[in-house]
Amino acid sequence: MVGAISIILRFIGIWIWPDRPAPAWPLYAACSACFVLACFAVWAKEHKEKHAAVADLEALKAKMRTFPRLIAANEDVSTQICGFQSETAYVSPSWQYLSVRFVNDPIGPTPESIALHVVCEVKFFDSDTSAFLYETSGRWMDSIPPRPGSVGPESVDFSIGQSRTLCVALKPIADSVCHAVSNGTWTDREFHRIAATEIVARIRLRCPYFDQTWSLRFSNLGEKRGLKFLEFRAES
C-alpha cells in the first residue's frame, strides 16, 4: 500500500511542482496515515474476533447449564440395618448396608437435562495402603435386578429432580468382613469380601454430557459391629 501511494504522490508532485522536486512531507504524511489505518484494521479484526469468542463462550456456558447434574452430599450417605431378600428366602434383619443417594439437579432444566443411560462403576481401595481391592458395576436399590448371569453394567435414567439410591457395601453384623454390592448380589448371590479395616470406594457416574467421580471412605468396625461412614467428597 505504501509503495502504491508513493508512486501516486510522485505523479501528483510532478503535476503540482513541475519545475522543481516535490517536497518530502506529503510522503511522510501518507506513510503515517497508512500506519494508523493498518493498526486500526488489525485492532478492529482482533476486537471482532474477541467479541465473537466471548459470545461463543457465553453460549456454551448457557448450554452447559442445561446438562444433567448428578449431585450428592454427606447427608445423602446412610448406613441402615436390614433383612436380605434372595430369590428363595428372606434373612432376618442382621445385615447393614452403606448407600448413597444421588439426585439430578440441573441448573437450567430443559428437556436435555434428563440423565440418560447413567452407568455406575465402583472401585474399592484399602485406605491405609491405597491397594486396589475390587471393581464392580454399581447397584441401584430402586431398579429391577438384571437377569441372573447378565454381563455388563446396569444403566438407569434420572429425570429432572429424580433421586436414586446406590448400595455400595453390605455387612453381616455377625461377620468380621464386609462385601461389595453388585447386580450379582441380588440375582446370583454373588458376594465379594472386602478384607480391609478402612475402605475407600471410588464411585464414578457417566452418561452423555456428564462424568463425575466421588470418594466414599468408611470403616469396618469388625465382628458383631457394623459399618461406619467417615467421609464423602467429589473429586475434581
Please state which of the ranges 21-35, 53-67, 98-112, 192-206 shows the lowest mean pLDDT. 21-35
pLDDT given for residue 85 in this prediction: 54
Q: C-alpha distances in angstroms, 199 versus 72, 173, 180, 218?
A: 19, 17, 11, 5
Question: DSSP labels for 161-208?
Answer: T-EEEEEEEEEETTSSSEEE--HHHHHT---EEE--SEEEEEEEEEET
Of 3-12, 131-140, 148-157, 218-227, least confident by mean pLDDT is 3-12
Percent of the chain residues topping a pLDDT of 90? 39
- Residue range 94-115: mean pLDDT, rounded: 91
Q: Do 80 and 96 contact (CB within 8 A), yes or no?
A: yes
Per-residue pLDDT for 65 more than 70? yes
Confidence (pLDDT) at 195: 87
- pLDDT band of residue 76 (cuts 50, 70, 90) is confident
When the pLDDT of each residue in the chain is averaged and rounded to a whole number, the result is 80
Helix (H) or strand (E) holding 157: strand 155-158
pLDDT of residue 99: 92
Given a cut of 50, whether residue 230 has pLDDT beyond it is yes
d(CA 233, CA 236): 9
Burial class of residue 48 (count of CB atoms within 10 Å of its CB; 0-12, 13-18, 19+):
exposed
Share of the chain above pLDDT 70, in %: 73
Domain ranges, ordered by start, for the chain: 2-64, 70-234
Mean pLDDT value across residues 94-107: 91
The model's confidence at residue 89, banded by pLDDT at 50, 70 and 90, is: very low
79, HSE (Cβ side, Cα atoms, 13 Å): 22
SS3 144: coil
Q: How far apart are CA 233 and CA 216, in angstroms?
A: 7
